Chain A
Amino acid sequence: MTTITVQINDEITAVPASLSLTDLLIHLRYQEHNFAVAINEAFVPRSQYEKTSIQTDDRIEIVAPMQGG
Chain B
Amino acid sequence: MNLTPEHAQKPSPMSWTVGGKTLNSRLLIGSALYSSPQAMQGAIKASGAEIVTVSLRRQSAGDQAGKTFWDMIKSLNCHVLPNTAGCHSAKEAITTAQMAREVFETNWIKLEVIGDQYNLQPDPFELLKATEFLVNEGFEVFPYTTDDLVLAQRLVDAGCNILMPWGSPIGSGKGLMNPYNLNAIRQRFPDLTLIVDAGIGKPSHAVQALEMGYDGILLNSAVALSPNPITMGKAFKSAVEAGVYAFDAGTMQERDLASPSTPVLGTPFWHQN
Q: Which residues of A contact B (CB under 8 A)?
A: 9-10, 28-32, 34-38, 41-43, 45-46, 61-69
B53 touches A68 (CB 8 A): yes
Q: Find chain B residues with CB under 8 A from A63 CB.
A: 56-59, 96, 99, 103
B83 touches A65 (CB 8 A): no
With A34-B67, A41-B91, A61-B58: A67-B103 Cβ-Cβ less than 8 Å: no
Within 8 A of A (CB), among B53-98: 53-67, 69-70, 73, 82-83, 85, 91-92, 95-96, 98
User: Which secondary structure dominates chain B's binding surface?
Assistant: mixed
Smallest CB separation, B220 vs chain A (Å): 4
Interface size on B, residues (CB 8 A): 41
A43 touches B40 (CB 8 A): no
Smallest CB separation, B221 vs chain A (Å): 7
With A29-B61, A35-B66, A61-B58: A67-B99 Cβ-Cβ less than 8 Å: no
Other A-B pairs beyond A36-B103, A42-B95, A65-B66, 20, CB < 8 Å:
A9-B60, A29-B61, A29-B62, A32-B66, A32-B67, A34-B103, A35-B66, A36-B99, A43-B95, A61-B58, A62-B58, A63-B58, A63-B59, A64-B56, A64-B57, A64-B66, A65-B104, A67-B30, A67-B32, A69-B83
